[in-house]
Structure 1
Amino acid sequence: MKVYVQETALLNYSYSQVQQLIHNRKWDRMPKKEQILAIYNYVRDEILFGYNRADEIKASEVLQDGYGQCNTKGILFMALLRAVDIPCRMHGFTIDKKLQKGALTGWYYQLSPEEIIHSWVEVLYDEKWLNIEGFILDVSYLTKLQQKFDQQSGSFCGYGVATNDFQNPAIYWNENDTYVQKEGIVQDFGIFDSPDAFFSTHQQELSPIRQFIYRQVVRHLMNRNVNRIRQG
C-alpha cells in the first residue's frame, strides 16, 4: 500500500500551502470517513469547476488556481488524501467531446478532439476501492445548470455532465461511488499508481499550436461560459 500514499511530482503534498490547508481544516485529526468526506466536499465545492492551463499540473498549482476539471481536481484530491495517509490511485479514460458541448462552443468545439482525456480517483476505504468522480462540478454550478434545463430529468450530456439522472446525480459521498461524467466514457485505460504514471503514457493529442491556442484562448472562453452558467 505504500505506493498509494507516496508523494510524487504532481502529488506534491509537502508543499507549504497544501500542508497549511490540511492543518487549518484539521483534516489530519479526523477519523477516516470524516477525512474523506471533508476533503471530497472541499475539492468539489471550494475548488470550482473550470479549465486549467493543462491536465498534468501539480496539486499546489490547482490549489492556487482555485478551479479545475476532472484531471486537475483529481490530482489535488489525491494529494490531500495521501497527505493524511489515505491510499488512492487514478483510473484513466477518454470521454466523448459531446460531454463538453456548452462549455465548448462554436469554432473551438468543432476543432476539439473527438475524445478527451479523463480520469477519476479510486480511494481505498473499508477494504474496498471506491470510484470517486462526483467532485468535478461544484454544486453551485450544477444547481444553476439543473435550473437552466429544469425539464430534463433523465439522461443528460453536455456542459461537463454525462449522467443518467441529471436532477439527482450521484455526487454526494457516503461511503459510496460517486459519478457525474461516467456516461460519457469511450475508452478505458485502466488503473495507474499515480497521475504522473497516467500522464506519462496518455496525454491529450494536440499539436503544439493547438496546445498554445488552448492555453491562451480556448480555456478562457470555456471558463467564461462556465462562470456565466454559475452566475445564472
Structure 2
Amino acid sequence: MNYLESSYYFDFENDLVQEIISDYKDDAISNKEKTIGTYTKVRDYWKYDPYSISLSKETYKASSIAKKPTGNCVEKSILLIACLRALKIPARLHLGKVKNHVAVERLMEKFGSNELTPHGMVNVYLDNKWLKMSPAFNKSLCVKLKVEPLEFDGENNSFLQQYNNEGSLFMEYTEDYGHFEDVPLEFMTRNIKEHYPHIFDTNEKITEFKL
C-alpha cells in the first residue's frame, strides 16, 4: 500500500493544505520536526467538535476541513494525514471506538451514549516504525477539561488521554477497527448508523446532522 499518495479525501495539492505546511517545506527540517510541528498546528488551530456528524463525501476532504474553524476527530486526522503526505511522510487513518468518562452529560443527551465511533487517529511512519497520534483535543479544550494535552515527540505513541489531572478516568478505547489507506466512508456510514440509529433516517436522505 502507498501511504504517500493524494486522493479525493487527501487532496494535499490544494492551496489551503499547502499553506498549512508552508513552514515545513524546508529540506533542512527533519521529518520528525515536520511531523511534530504539523501535528501541533492541526491539534490547536482547529477546535474539536464531536457534535457535527456527516455522511457526505465532501465533508471529509482535507481541503474542505481546512476551511472550517472546527473538526471532529476523524476530520482533524484526515487533515493531518494530508499535510504529512504532502511533506512526503507516510501516514494513514486509524479508526476505533472510544468511551468518554468526563463531561459526558451532553454526549449522553445528543448521542444516547458516552461512546464515540468511529473515533479517528493518525498512524505516521517515522524512523522505520509506525506511531499512533491523535490531534483531536485542542489545547484550550484540554485546559477546560482539566486534562493534559497530548504532545507528540516523534518517537512514541501519543493517542490516549486515559486520566485527567485529578486522576479520574477520562477516556478508553473499547474497539479497534484498524488502519486504512484512504477514508472508508462506506464503513464509517454503516458504523454511525449502527451505533446511532436515532440520528439519521433509514432512507438516507439526511447526510449531515448538527447535534
| Bin of the TM-score, shorter chain as denominator length | 0.7 to 0.9
CA contact (8 A) 2:103 2:145 kept: no
> Relative to structure 1, is the Cα distance of residues 103 and 13 closer, same or farther in structure 2, using a 3 angstrom cutoff?
farther
Match of 1:192 in 2: 180
Structure 2 CA distance for aligned equivalents of residues 100 and 118 of structure 1: 17
Superposition deviation, residue 89 in structure 1: 1.3
Distance (Å, rounded) in 2 between the aligned partners of 1:109 and 1:96? 12
| Residue pair 1:92, 1:189 contacting (<8 A) in 2 also | yes
Q: For residues 32 and 101 of structure 1, do their structure 2 counterparts lie closer, same or farther at Cα, with a shift above 3 Å needed?
A: same
> What's the CA shift for 1:168?
3.9
Q: Deviations over 1:61-97 (max 9, x none)?
A: 1111121121110000000000010001122212236
User: Cα deviation per residue 1:27-75 (whole Å; 9 max; x = unaligned)?
Assistant: 1113211110110010111111114442761111111112112111000
2:158 corresponds to which letter in structure 1? T
Unaligned runs of 5+ in 1: 147-166, 219-232
Q: Is the 2:142–2:148 contact (alpha carbons within 8 Å) kept by the matching residues of 1?
A: no
Task: Give the equivalent residue in structure 1 for 2:166.
Answer: none
Identity in percent: 25
The answer to whether 1:59 aligns with 2:62 is: yes
1:19 paired to 2:18: yes
Which residue pairs with 2:168 in the alignment? Answer: none
What TM-score do you get using the length of structure 1 for normalisation?
0.70
Partner of 1:173: 152
Q: Which ranges in structure 2 are unaligned for 5 or more consecutive residues?
A: 163-170
Residue in 1 aligned with 2:78?
75
Paired AA for residue 13 in structure 2: S
CA distance in 1, matches of 2:180, 2:97: 14
For residues 35 and 20 of structure 2, what CA distance do their matches in structure 1 show?
Answer: 15
Equivalent pair of 1:136/1:180 in contact (CA under 8 Å): no
Deviation at 1:16, TM superposition (A): 1.9
CA contact (8 A) 2:74 2:120 kept: yes
Q: Structure 1 or 2: larger helix share?
A: 1
Q: In the alignment, which residue of structure 2 is the partner of 1:85?
A: 88
Q: Is the 8 A contact 1:74 1:119 kept in 2?
A: yes
Q: After TM superposition, list the pairs within 5 Å mapping 1:1-232 onto structure 2.
A: 3-23=2-22, 26-29=23-26, 30-51=29-50, 52-54=52-54, 57-96=60-99, 101-106=104-109, 108-110=110-112, 116-133=117-134, 135-146=135-146, 167-168=147-148, 171-175=150-154, 176-180=156-160, 183-194=171-182, 196=183, 198-203=184-189, 204-205=192-193, 206-207=196-197, 208-209=200-201, 215-218=208-211
Contact 2:148 2:161 in 1 (8 A): no
Letter in 2 for 1:209: D
SS in 1 for 2:119: strand
CA distance in 2, matches of 1:141, 1:72: 17
TM-aligned CA deviation for residue 22 of structure 1: 2.4
CA contact (8 A) 1:93 1:188 kept: yes
TM-score normalised per structure 2:
0.77
Distance change in 2, residues 1:181/1:116 (3 Å): farther
Give 1:201 deviation, angstroms. 2.6
Of stretches 48-57 and 118-127 in structure 1, the one that deviates more from structure 2 is 48-57
Give the aligned length: 189
Change beyond 3 A, Cα 1:213–1:142: farther
